[in-house]
Structure 1
Amino acid sequence: MRHVFAFLITATLFAQTAQAEDITMQPHHPYTGLWVTDDGHVRHELLPSGRYIEARGTRERAYEGRYEVSGQHIEYWDDTGFTADGDFVDADTLHHGGMVLRRR
């Protein structure tokens, strides 16, 4: 039992450290904020910390993880290991996974 407890503490500290490193890795960019498909089904919130939250339908936290923007390209790394990317077409339009999201 003692080893399990020590493992859980170590895993928690590692996750917190990784998350803190993610925050410092994201440079400032103009695309933070909420991005939504025209039907409102998919919603991406790009946080200034370099983290994102994706809502789908009634699932407010369907996916979340970190992201990085390089120029007009965005890369996503979900906390479960899933990866995705997209491109900002202009200041108000994001193409991602066959979807078009607009700034709100």
Structure 2
Amino acid sequence: MKTDHKYIGMWVTADGHIRQELLPDGRYDEARGNKQSAYQGNYQITGDHIDYQDDTGFEADGDFKDDVLYHAGMILYREK
């Protein structure tokens, strides 16, 4: 499933500990610290809302506001 939206790309916490890449195929890959691909799964974006389902079945969501991603108590910024 190919997706086309303005949020594709890398999102990073201010300290760089969490790096989440939203891929154009509807998948995401999240690194935590030195652990690459700590979480992977599918995502779906509706408007400015994102729903995640990782490959283990865990579900989460978040919202984009002013080019910032608020997700599971975290604040992620678009990597420039």
TM class, shorter-length: over 0.9
Out of 22, 32, 47, the residue aligned to residue 56 of structure 1 is 32
Structure-1-length-normalised TM-score: 0.73
Q: Distance in 1 between matches of 2:36 and 2:16?
A: 12
Which of 1 and 2 has greater Rg? Answer: 1
Bigger fraction of residues in strand? 2
Q: Distance in 2 between matches of 1:93 and 1:99?
A: 10
Q: Distance in 1 between matches of 2:68 and 2:78?
A: 6
Q: Distance in 1 between matches of 2:72 and 2:55?
A: 18
Q: CA RMSD in A?
A: 0.9
Give the corresponding residue for 2:57: 81
Relative contact order, higher structure (CA 8 A, sep 6+): 2
Identity between Structure 1 and Structure 2 (%): 59
Matched position secondary structure for 2:53: strand
Bigger fraction of residues in helix? 1
The structural deviation recorded for 1:60 is 0.8
The total of aligned residue pairs comes to 79
Gaps of 5+ in 2: none
Give, as a single letter, the amino acid of the residue that structure 1 aligns with 2:39.
Y
**Consecutive aligned runs of 4 or more in structure 1 exceeding 4 Å deviation:** none
The structural deviation recorded for 1:55 is 0.5
Gaps of 5+ in 1: 1-22
Q: Does 1:99 align with 2:70?
A: no
